[in-house]
Structure 1
Amino acid sequence: MTARADAPAKTAETEARAKHTAIEMARAAAPGLAARIGSTPATTFRGNPDIFGRLVEDHDRHRALFAMVQETDGKSPERERLFRELVHEVKAHAAAEEQALWSTVLRNPDTTDDGRHAVHEHKQIDEMVADLAARDMATRAWTERFEALKEKYLHHIREEEQEQFVAAEKHLSAADIRHMKGVFDRRKKEEKASVTIEEKIRLKS
């Protein structure tokens, strides 16, 4: 088998390994719970050693955490722990993504709209998280709002993976990629260590 013919198999193996790693990292917070995320959007960036593959790996971790929260009931210690981990993960990821990727994208007139859209949705997700954090997670209203947050977040990351990353990649230089690789993990670690969970009821749903 030639190296070219073998490439798809190696790519698939890398992608599967990245997805498995992401799910296992999520399950570390509650090993007894299932993380049923099902199939995820096909993207040429999954498993890519550059910035996009790293972002998609985080997305899979978030998909797993959302699924695991839905496996819990009431105000259980597992639900509290998983929700806290999810919030820390999502907020740290968004902050690091904005500095590593979207700050660069926003400087290019061809991709400014994508960058603005992504950052705006990060803000909307923050508001939904703060609203949830301010409510009693043992109630049906909390569960309904959590499901709305999940729907919003999954839509957001699908859009990033299938549209915005694809558009951004066409305009990034090698220097841009090096910058992003150097910034993302460092910034995410810093952000996750300092995340605070705001509690603020949304007056408009």
Structure 2
Amino acid sequence: MAAKKSKSPATTPAKPPKKAKADAIAKAKAIAPDKAANIGSKPKTKFRGNPDIFGRLVEDHDRHRALFAMIEDTEGKSKNRRKLFKELVLEIKGHAAAEEQALWSSVMRNPATTEDARHAVGEHKEMDEMLADLAARDMAKGGWLKRFAAAKEEYLHHIREEEQEQFVAAEKHLSATDLRYMRTVFNRRKKEEKAAATVEKKIRLKG
């Protein structure tokens, strides 16, 4: 009896970059419709709206950019700030875990891109620590927003580096089938990882 051929993942239709960005922001806005989600026109990336793993990751990045902006539009220990911060933490943790499983675990095995993968995964751990530190502190105090701004700057640097450098390098060593399959894996794992994620609280002690 002949073996069944494995099916290639279905191709996701491409989106115009502006629509892809608008859709991502709309998902964030659903949490708190009255809060501003101004993420601007940058950074530029060739992957926004693409029907592969990198386009899917940028979609999440834009959603996270919007959540950061919306939190900055809140005050004190308000319901919106608490709700948006929790969503941001669960989103980033679910995204990072799924990204590591769908993309970086494979990219790390290629000597040409091993260092990029290690760097990205290391920054995921750094962000986990920054978010846990924020969760452990009183968000009604002025110092909280200052620490939050530092975390935002760190995260925006991380995703800009991924979109403009690391994804570009990784793409050169992956086939179109790889990229479609990785998107399928990411979507499945993101849903599962986000559902299992929790908001950890741990003050970050600087050495």
The match for 2:86 is: 84
User: Residue in 2 aligned with 1:126?
Assistant: 128
Tell me by how many angstroms 1:44 deviates: 1.3
Q: Indicate yes or no: 2:207 matched with 1:196.
A: no
Q: Which amino acid aligns with 1:185?
A: N
d(CA) in 2 for partners of 1:165, 1:46:
12
Match of 1:41 among 40, 43, 47: 43
Describe the shift of the 1:49–1:13 C-alpha distance in structure 2 as closer, same or farther (beyond 3 A): closer
**Residue identity opposite 2:160 in structure 1:** R
Question: If each structure's helix is expressed as a fraction of its own residues, which one has the higher value?
Answer: 1
**How far does residue 42 in structure 1 lie from its aligned partner after superposition?**
1.5
Q: Which one-letter code corresponds to 1:40 in the other structure?
A: K
- Measure the CA separation in 2 of the matches of 1:82 and 1:157: 20
Q: Return the offset for 1:178.
A: 3.4
Deviant stretches of 4+, over 2 Å:
173-176
Asked whether the equivalents of residues 15 and 50 of structure 2 are also in contact (C-alpha less than 8 Å), the reply is no
1:173 Cα shift? 2.5
Structure ranking higher on relative contact order (CA contacts 8 Å, 6+ apart): 2
> One-letter code of the match for 1:160?
E
Equivalent residue number for residue 3 of structure 1: none
Say which of 109, 112, 115 aligns to 1:110. Answer: 112
Distance 2:157 2:94 in 1: 19
Q: Which amino acid aligns with 2:106?
A: T
1:43-62 mapped onto 2 (5 Å cutoff): 43-62=45-64
Partner AA of 1:61 in structure 2: R
Deviations 1:142-195 (A, max 9, x none): 111100000000000000000000000001124422330220011000011111
| Displacement after TM superposition at 1:13 (Å) | 6.4
RMSD: 1.5
For the 8 Å contact 2:51–2:180, the answer to whether it is kept is no
**Distance in 2 between residues matched to 1:178 and 1:161, nearest whole Å:** 17
In structure 1, runs of 5+ residues without a counterpart are: 1-11
Q: Which residue of 1 aligns with 2:5?
A: none
SS of the counterpart of 2:38? coil
Letter in 2 for 1:36: N
Identity %: 71
What one-letter code is carried by the residue in structure 1 that aligns with 2:40?
Answer: G
Structure 2 unaligned segments of length 5 or more: list them.
1-13
Contact 1:100 1:183 in 2 (8 A): yes
* TM-score with structure 2 setting the length: 0.91
* Equivalent residue, structure 1, for 2:74: 72
Residue 46 of structure 2: SS of its match in structure 1? coil
Write the letter of the residue equivalent to 2:172: K
How many aligned positions are there? Answer: 195
**In structure 2, how many angstroms separate the alpha carbons of the residues matched to 1:146 and 1:41?**
20
Give yes or no for contact 2:68–2:152 (8 Å, CA) kept in 1. yes
* Equivalent residue, structure 2, for 1:147: 149
The answer to whether the 8 Å contact 1:104/1:176 transfers is no
1:6 alignment partner in structure 2 = none
CA–CA separation in structure 2 for the residues paired with 1:126 and 1:182: 25
